[in-house]
């Protein structure tokens, strides 16, 4: 049992993720600004938010919306200025909301001055800062690795006469962490931001920083003859040495947290990554999001899944972090389709589905991360053609899917279902044009449903998803059992209901969420002696759940 008094501030709070480009535009330009985030701190405060991860807003050519950093010490002019960022940090602090910066340390933009120099020759001062290799004898790429966004992970550089490795887009060359100067430069950046008073860091794509000692071809798994770079390089032995160095240089002695984005770390390995002996405070691992999407690179192949698959993944992550570390609970982020579509196999109103997920997110053990708009319960957007998408990955995935033999229509359907742009449509503030996001044409189309599904409308409706989120946030923050209590799964084999109990001393709370569109019954003894703390449909009957009903008893 955790002791509330021993818990860090970030374990006792609710976190959110903001995608600045789509949050609120205060400059009338069609893309969001940092001042727009500052303007909405009250809104976030009402949601119980104490930590806000904002995706990268450093100077960037924006090939991957900021995940291609040109200058880590500058704010991209499209987002505003460093003064705007300082203001956000200061105003956030006043409201008890600490800012969490996104550190993109596996790669930079090709326009970063480090790469600009590195590519000029084999003997400049940054010659070893990236992963350079000679071509094979026939001039082809050094290995058959496929980048995460599709196509070869190698790009030929005429100037230097060598290939460089890019785990993501070709405009995002991978840094060489073996080079001590690279590590020092990165740790300096993190310390510079920590000194500004941010509350923590989310560290991007961290499992890829260590490359294997020998680069070899792997067995092709797609029609393109390529082998996933993820399989070749993720979580390479020795990676934790780099990360311990990082922790010592940046995290130690500061009241901040570090959450790593760690695709490729299994629940069983978590104890080496988080907690006392680990390197991070929390780790975003993706075992549960892989359930509906499939973990494989061949993402467009259909996946069949059951609720118990999702439950097992979540339970395994809970189990892995019980004795060690802490769990960041999430169903959405800027790389995932909307959860109301992703995690349900049945029909039914999106608002009810959003409430089902909301109850799990806000009563589970760990720090919940709410992604912007999740608290309103949107679905995916209504994409009609591949040209409407902006995302570099979606466009590459469309081509990849066609290479796998899918027709145009099938490839589009796969993108509509899974595209990251589903999470990136502008935040829906009100029913005015462009959903109150901007006075200019938004960079991505606003979701069709914004006229009814928006913050202003939901603030006026006590039964809205937003009202549900706010009341759950109050419930969580006002009851230690949700913050510090143990977590035990209930009804583990049930294919319709996700259920768990939280216990702290003799206090007990039970969450039951019906993920199906059918009424279900459960053993009423599970909630014997407890009172209804929250019901997504108002009242509730013990032993019964209506379709897509979620309840908390305690």
Candidate residues 67, 177, 327, 331; the one interacting with ligand GLC per rule CB under 6 A: 67
Nearest to ligand GLC by Cβ — which residue? 67
Q: Which CB, 193 or 500, lies closer to ligand GLC? A: 193
Binding-site size for ligand GLC (CB under 6 A) equals 9
Distance (Å, rounded) from C-alpha 69 to C-alpha 14?
A: 28
Distance (Å, rounded) from C-alpha 364 to C-alpha 374?
A: 17
In 229-290, the DSSP E strands lie at 257-261, 282-284
Told to judge if 155 belongs to the known catalytic residues of this protein, a careful annotator would answer: no
From residue 158 to residue 197, the character string flagging contacts with ligand GLC as x (rule: CB under 6 A) and all else as - is: ----------x-----------------------------
Q: Of 204, 332, 374, 480, which is the active-site residue?
A: 204
Distance (Å, rounded) from C-alpha 552 to C-alpha 534?
A: 5
Q: Using CB under 6 A, which residues numbered 326 to 385 contact ligand GLC?
A: 334-335
Q: Which CB, 55 or 143, lies closer to ligand GLC? A: 55
Q: Pairing state of beta strands 71-75 and 58-59?
A: antiparallel
Write down the least CB distance from residue 67 to ligand GLC, Å: 3
Q: Which CB, 106 or 363, lies closer to ligand GLC? A: 106
Distance (Å, rounded) from C-alpha 240 to C-alpha 246?
A: 9
Candidate residues 14, 75, 99, 104; the one interacting with ligand GLC per rule CB under 6 A: 104
Distance (Å, rounded) from C-alpha 280 to C-alpha 273?
A: 6
Write down the least CB distance from residue 182 to ligand GLC, Å: 17
Is 204 a residue that touches ligand GLC (CB under 6 A)?
yes
Q: Token digits for 429?
A: 């503030």
Q: Token digits for 71?
A: 């200058």
Q: Using CB under 6 A, which residues numbered 453 to 512 contact ligand GLC?
A: none
Write down the least CB distance from residue 50 to ligand GLC, Å: 22
Q: Which CB, 115 or 482, lies closer to ligand GLC? A: 115
Distance (Å, rounded) from C-alpha 359 to C-alpha 88?
A: 30
Q: Token digits for 40?
A: 């909405």
Write down the least CB distance from residue 54 to ligand GLC, Å: 12
Q: Which CB, 396 or 451, lies closer to ligand GLC? A: 396
Place of tokens 């992970």: 153
Write down the least CB distance from residue 66 to ligand GLC, Å: 9
Write down the least CB distance from residue 69 to ligand GLC, Å: 9
Do residues 359 and 511 lie in contact, with contact meaning Cβ atoms separated by under 8 Å? Answer: yes
Candidate residues 49, 205, 262, 510; the one interacting with ligand GLC per rule CB under 6 A: 205
Do residues 280 and 105 lie in contact, with contact meaning Cβ atoms separated by under 8 Å? Answer: no
Torsion angle of C-alpha atoms 34, 97, 376, 474, degrees rounded to 10: -170
Told to judge if 390 belongs to the known catalytic residues of this protein, a careful annotator would answer: no
Write down the least CB distance from residue 210 to ligand GLC, Å: 16
Do residues 522 and 498 lie in contact, with contact meaning Cβ atoms separated by under 8 Å? Answer: no
DSSP 323: S
Q: Using CB under 6 A, which residues numbered 230 to 249 contact ligand GLC?
A: none
Q: What CA–CA distances, in Å, run from 428 to 372, 379, 474, 487?
A: 10, 12, 23, 34
Q: Which CB, 243 or 484, lies closer to ligand GLC? A: 243
Q: Using CB under 6 A, which residues numbered 282 to 301 contact ligand GLC?
A: none
Do residues 256 and 195 lie in contact, with contact meaning Cβ atoms separated by under 8 Å? Answer: no
Q: Which CB, 381 or 484, lies closer to ligand GLC? A: 381
Q: Which CB, 330 or 500, lies closer to ligand GLC? A: 330
Q: What CA–CA distances, in Å, run from 362 to 303, 427, 436?
A: 28, 21, 28
Do residues 381 and 425 lie in contact, with contact meaning Cβ atoms separated by under 8 Å? Answer: yes
Distance (Å, rounded) from C-alpha 373 to C-alpha 39?
A: 16
Pick from 540, 538, 551, 542: nearest CA to 521: 542
3: Cα separation from own chain's centroid: 28
Q: Using CB under 6 A, which residues numbered 16 to 45 contact ligand GLC?
A: none
Q: Which CB, 168 or 280, lies closer to ligand GLC? A: 168
Q: Of 174, 261, 335, 391, which is the active-site residue?
A: 261
Q: Token digits for 386?
A: 């591949």
Write down the least CB distance from residue 172 to ligand GLC, Å: 6
Write down the least CB distance from residue 259 to ligand GLC, Å: 12
Distance (Å, rounded) from C-alpha 187 to C-alpha 209?
A: 14
Distance (Å, rounded) from C-alpha 308 to C-alpha 512?
A: 14
Catalytic residues: 204, 261
Binding site for ligand GLC (CB under 6 A): 64, 67, 104, 168, 204-205, 261, 334-335
């Amino acid at each position: 049992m955790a002791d509330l008094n021993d818990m860090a501030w970030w374990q006792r709070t609710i976190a959110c993720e903001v995608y600045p480009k789509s949050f609120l535009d205060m400059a009338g330009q069609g893309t969001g600004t940092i001042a727009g985030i500052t303007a909405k701190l009250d809104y976030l405060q009402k949601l119980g938010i104490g930590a806000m991860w904002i995706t990268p807003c450093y100077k960037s050519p924006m090939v991957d919306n900021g995940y291609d950093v040109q200058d880590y010490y500058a704010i991209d002019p499209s987002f505003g200025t460093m003064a705007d960022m300082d203001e956000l940090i200061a105003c956030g602090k006043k409201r008890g909301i600490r800012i969490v910066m996104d550190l993109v340390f596996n790669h930079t933009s090709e326009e970063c001055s480090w790469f600009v120099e590195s590519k000029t020759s084999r003997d400049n001062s940054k010659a070893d800062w990236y992963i350079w290799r000679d071509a094979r004898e026939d001039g082809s790429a050094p290995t058959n690795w496929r980048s995460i966004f599709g196509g070869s992970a190698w790009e030929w550089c005429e100037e230097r006469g060598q290939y460089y490795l890019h785990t993501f887009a070709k405009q995002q060359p991978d840094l060489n962490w073996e080079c001590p100067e690279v590590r020092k430069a990165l740790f300096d950046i993190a310390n510079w931001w920590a000194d500004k008073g941010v509350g923590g860091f989310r560290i991007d794509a961290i499992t890829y920083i260590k490359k294997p000692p020998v680069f070899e071809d792997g067995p092709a798994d797609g029609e393109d003859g390529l082998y996933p770079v993820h399989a070749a390089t993720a979580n390479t032995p020795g990676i934790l040495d780099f990360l311990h160095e990082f922790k010592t240089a940046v995290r130690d002695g500061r009241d901040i947290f570090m959450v790593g984005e760690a695709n490729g770390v299994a629940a069983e390995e978590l104890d080496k990554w988080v907690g006392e002996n680990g390197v991070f405070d929390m780790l975003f691992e993706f075992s549960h999001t892989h359930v509906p999407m499939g973990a494989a690179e061949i993402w467009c192949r259909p996946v069949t899944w059951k609720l118990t698959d999702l439950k097992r993944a979540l339970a395994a992550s809970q189990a892995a972090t019980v004795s060690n570390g802490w769990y960041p609970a999430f169903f959405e982020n800027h790389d995932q389709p909307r959860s109301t579509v992703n995690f349900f196999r049945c029909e039914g109103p999106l608002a009810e589905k959003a409430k089902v997920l909301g109850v799990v997110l806000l009563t589970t053990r760990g720090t919940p991360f709410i992604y912007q708009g999740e608290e309103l319960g949107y679905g995916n957007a209504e994409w009609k053609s591949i040209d409407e998408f902006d995302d570099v990955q979606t466009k590459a995935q469309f081509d990849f899917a066609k290479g796998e033999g899918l027709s145009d229509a099938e490839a589009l359907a796969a993108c509509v279902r899974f595209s990251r742009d589903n999470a990136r449509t502008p935040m829906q503030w009100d029913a005015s044009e462009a959903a109150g996001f901007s006075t200019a044409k938004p960079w991505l189309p606003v979701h069709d449903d914004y006229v009814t599904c928006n913050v202003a409308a939901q603030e006026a409706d006590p039964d809205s998803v937003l009202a549900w989120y706010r009341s759950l946030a109050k419930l969580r923050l006002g009851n230690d059992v949700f913050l510090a209590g143990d977590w035990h799964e209930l009804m583990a084999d049930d294919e319709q209901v996700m259920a768990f109990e939280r216990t702290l001393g003799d206090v007990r709370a039970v969450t039951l969420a019906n993920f199906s569109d059918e009424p279900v019954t459960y053993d009423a003894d599970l909630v014997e002696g407890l009172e209804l703390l929250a019901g997504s449909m108002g009242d509730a009957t013990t032993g019964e759940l209506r379709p897509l009903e979620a309840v908390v008893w305690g």
